[in-house]
Amino acid sequence: MMRRNQRIAKIAMALALVSGPLSALALGQTATGTILGIVRDQTGAVIPGARVTIRNVATGVVRETHTNAEGLYRVPGLIPGKYEVTVQAQGFSTEVKRDITVTVGAEQVVDFTLTVGAVTERVEISGGGAAVELVTSTLSYVVDANTIRELPLNGRDWTQLATLQPGIAVVRVQDTSDLRRNQRGNGIQMTIAGGRPSENNYRWNGISINDYANTGPGSVLGTNLGVDAIQEFSVLTSTYSAEYGRTSGGVINAVTRSGANEFHGSTYYFHRNSVLDARNFFDRASDPPPFRRHQFGAAAGGPLVRDRTFWFGDYEGLREFLSVTVISTTLSDRARLGQLSTGTVEVDPAVKPFLGLYPRPNGRLLGAGDVGEFVFTSGRISRQDYATGRLDHRFSERDTVSGAYFLDDAHIDAPDEFNNKAVSMASRRQGLALEWAHTFTPWLLMTSRFGFSRTMAGNGLSTKIFNPLLQDTALGFLPGRAVGEIQVPGLSDFSGGLGGVEFNLFHYNSFQGYQDVFLTRGVHSLKIGWSLERIQNNYDSPFLPNGRFIFGSLVDFLTNKPRQLSAQLPGSDTVRGIRQTLFGAYFHDDVRWRPNVTVNLGLRYEVATVPTEVNGKLANLRRLTDAQPTVGSLFANPTRLNFAPRIGLAWDPWGNGKTSIRAGFGIFDVLPLVYIFTNRFNRTPPFFMTGFASNLPAGAFPKGAFQFLGPTSFRAIFVEPEPSRSYKMQWNLNIQRELFPRVVATVGYVGARGVHLPLAYEDVDIVLPTRTPSGYVWPPTATSRRLNENFGRIAASMWNGDSYYHALQISIRRHFGRGFQAQGSYTWSKSIDTGSSTFSNNEYLTTIGYPYPFDLRLNRGLSDFDLRHNFVVNVLWEIPTPTSWAGPARWIFSGWQLGGIYQASSGLPFTVVLTADRAGTKSSQARNFLGQRPNLIVRPECRSLTNPGNPDRYIKLECFEFPAAGTLGSLGRNTLIGPGLSNLDFSLFKNHRIARLSETFNVQVRLEFFNVLNRTNFAPPDVTRYTIFDSAGRLVGNAGQLTRTNTSSRQIQFGMKIIW
């Protein structure tokens, strides 16, 4: 028998070797869990050959195995849910442990100590699983179904709940504007253990659903619906095992609900209306702007064939009209006449027609009165439909299959910054996951999975014009085109007229699959797998089709002295079809070195092909000084030797399952995926021409500058030709302790170090400086020359970034029992890097460029997403009712339930910058893209650079001065800290259980309050307000102003659910 099993194992390994590269297309992460343990007698001796039976309580599906010679057993491939574990051995009483919870990707230890007796004698124990992690060094947390469906969720986006765990935070400076959000990822962006949002991997039923942006997937509404469809999800934050690839940050691993032997379901409706809401701090009217939301749906599941075939389905719809107060900065009435605070100027006749693009102020005048506020109510109309289904079937005791599918379709219409026009955005996401699991022997399991993920997303898809000037070609910068973008210091950016709105349209396909083998031999629990993913990214992303003028000051704008014109030239080809293939293989072994010590050993190999274009339309400069781009591959492959070891230890020092001391270390590769080059693939000659004309003559606006857009003004790209391997090292040391029954505390240190991280540079074609003891000094602009005078701009992607993260992470959790659960998480961390952006220097609202890209020490500072302190607590409480109460009193006072989420965190860092090139680098960029900063004035009152609680002048402008010509300012990157956050969401439910219909029938009435304390949580200033100096060194009128909040005012939501 032993030889036969060995032959089967060899055959299975051979099958995996052959079929792995062919049928495995995602990266070896499972959507199931494992139950394992050791069986002993009362003397502590192990019991080999004991029969272990594991039964899924909901479906009745049974798995069997036997303990090996070391008394160990292990059953992988279990779908998340409740289980019952039974152990039988000759000469011992049968022992049953109930209420064993298996979570996605987790390994639940269930040990047994059998007593002498007859097998017919049964000993039953409830909740016999270990409460602490005894097998793995991975830092992971599970958000269960009760938490997902019962806590108050603004927008019913289940991914928000990942932030309940330590080390995880939303990047509050994500660009969520409707005009720009699409290209940077629609979903909520999160930093996990100091990682960039683009380093995370989102998984649904075992397949990756990352999209073209590789950040947070989601609809154009910024949400991931399907709360009632998610069984649970886990978040892996540090030193996860070798089976996890395609990530160097965190892993969000969700699994949908499956049907059971009983028919269960729910139908629901949620309603929001502004008549119940409080005013936002920036609202001007006495009542809050109109807001109406209808959210509705149903979920159900049950058996097709009892104990064998199960189904589940869910639909959720959302219809919304959302109005918010928008505060833009426009010219004052006196400024329109040329009557400025610095003196009177004559408004150029060519400029006068463009003043009609800027509405007259209807709010306060700012600064010295040259600019003022234009306040209006922005009305956004949204629709979203989400549907998902799952089917599970058991062919035999050895073979099971499952399949799941989701469809998410959404659309938005929203106005621009001055209410001149409305633009539309849309998204359509689909996912398919198919899995087959085959059990060869109780010690050998093989699973195969195929997946397909598709994302269509676009912004600027159509435009509705409110101001007729936006379609007047007489105002256009290019022949036959309408007006383009205009940037003026102190004014809100004008985003362009008809055909000039930033447009992006993505069709992203990912074909995935993998194969994993699980083998238990003695003290070894082995996993081995191979994987393959094929990426197709078809997109169209024009750049400035109507052009963009940049002015150095308000005076320059009124007197027609433009600084720069940038424009895409006619005939440019912006459509690309990008292809890439990923391959990975791993080996992982959990070694039960001692009964109370497990060692985790793993090695992953992961390679990505260099991206290609289906029509060969890729080109770049091989050297920065090349006169022409070279058509062909962008760079040499740096991933061929990507071997990444992982090692960990879990130690139960007293052997009682109450304490676990864990440590881990691993290397995680940052693959050169297609999202890094989104702004590179289609923006270079000879297929694409964008001109950058600087030092324009007076009067060149609007028609006279186009003639200067010749070949020597074109934009080119440079991708580092021989990049180094990009990777992150992660490590942690933590202690878990079960303090009381159901109460577990975790305290740990978590660290990470990023090496050769990808960075995006908007222009490296600059004048080189001379280094002096006092810093870099640039030569006079009249005689200086850029690196490559053949082009007007060279955008670059290079792998030379570094990052550092250190954190104290604390979590205390009481698991649900007796109607109560609670969790508190605290993170004290610091994240430092030389740049936080991967593909663009406006990746976040506070991201800035590199004042001198060839010395990154000048940019070393806090990460854009550094959050020094973050505290989150959540509570669910089913208020008990005395059993002696009956009749009306019991009906009135029973069934009440409270829930809440409270978060308190410090602010995110940002930088103040200059409008124009004071140093004389001759860069084509301005403001945040340029990244040049003022001098910091060192004096006692400038120890803090902000005025907390003062939205009119949040930045201490008196602490900065205009630097001398030819030099860089002394202010460091990200030295200012934005406003902190304190927010409480609260819920009150009334459950009406109707036992005469069924034991589970419940009518639940819900009342949810978001920001119940109505605290104003200011957002940091935007780019037009942290750009504090114009080109002449004058403070701009709106410098340092806050105009937005990170959370809504208090909002109330009514809901009803019928649950059966």
**Is the distance from CB of 859 to CB of 841 less than 8 angstroms?**
no
Choose between 21 and 82: higher pLDDT. Answer: 82
Q: Which domains does the chain have, with CATH numbers?
A: 2-143 (2.60.40.1120), 161-1059 (2.40.170.20)
User: Has residue 4 got a pLDDT over 70?
Assistant: no
DSSP class of residue 610? P
Percent of the chain residues topping a pLDDT of 90:
84
| Encoded tokens for 766 | 């600059």
pLDDT in tens, 213-269: 998 899 999 999 999 999 999 999 999 999 999 999 999 999 999 999 999 999 999
| Encoded tokens for 689 | 């021409």
End-to-end CA distance of the chain: give it in Å, rounded.
49
Amino acid identity, position 746: T
Query: How far, CA to CA in Å, does 639 sit from each of 593, 607, 838?
Result: 34, 5, 18
Find where tokens 């957002």 sit: 1019
pLDDT at 30: 65
**Is the distance from CB of 671 to CB of 639 less than 8 angstroms?**
yes
Range scoring the smallest mean pLDDT among 161-165, 838-842, 957-961: 838-842
- Could you give the CA distance from residue 1009 to residue 1012 in angstroms, rounded to a whole number? 5
- Could you give the CA distance from residue 792 to residue 797 in angstroms, rounded to a whole number? 17
> Looking only at Cα atoms, what is the longest distance across the chain?
104
Amino acid identity, position 855: D
Amino acid identity, position 197: P
Which residues have CB under 8 Å from 537's CB, separation 6+? 212, 506, 507, 508, 509, 576, 577, 578, 579, 580, 674
Lay out the sheet containing 548-551: strands in order across: 485-487, 548-551, 562-568, 690-694
Query: How far, CA to CA in Å, does 198 sit from each of 188, 668, 843?
Result: 11, 14, 11
CA angle 54, 94, 400 (to 5 degrees): 15
Percent of the chain residues topping a pLDDT of 70:
97
Q: 60, exposed or middle or buried, with CB in 10 Å at 0-12, 13-18, 19+?
A: middle
Q: Helix, strand, or coil here: 890? A: helix
E strand or H helix that includes residue 22: helix 2-23
User: Has residue 783 got a pLDDT over 60?
Assistant: yes
Amino acid identity, position 972: G
CB atoms within 10 A of CB 44: 9
pLDDT in tens, 23-47: 332 334 567 889 999 999 998 899 9
Q: 591, exposed or middle or buried, with CB in 10 Å at 0-12, 13-18, 19+?
A: middle
| Encoded tokens for 58 | 């909901």
- Could you give the CA distance from residue 761 to residue 326 in angstroms, rounded to a whole number? 31
pLDDT at 992: 93
DSSP class of residue 13? H
CB atoms within 10 A of CB 382: 22
- Could you give the CA distance from residue 1053 to residue 1060 in angstroms, rounded to a whole number? 23
pLDDT band for position 178 (50/70/90)?
low
pLDDT in tens, 685-743: 999 999 999 989 999 999 999 999 989 999 999 999 999 999 999 999 999 999 999 89
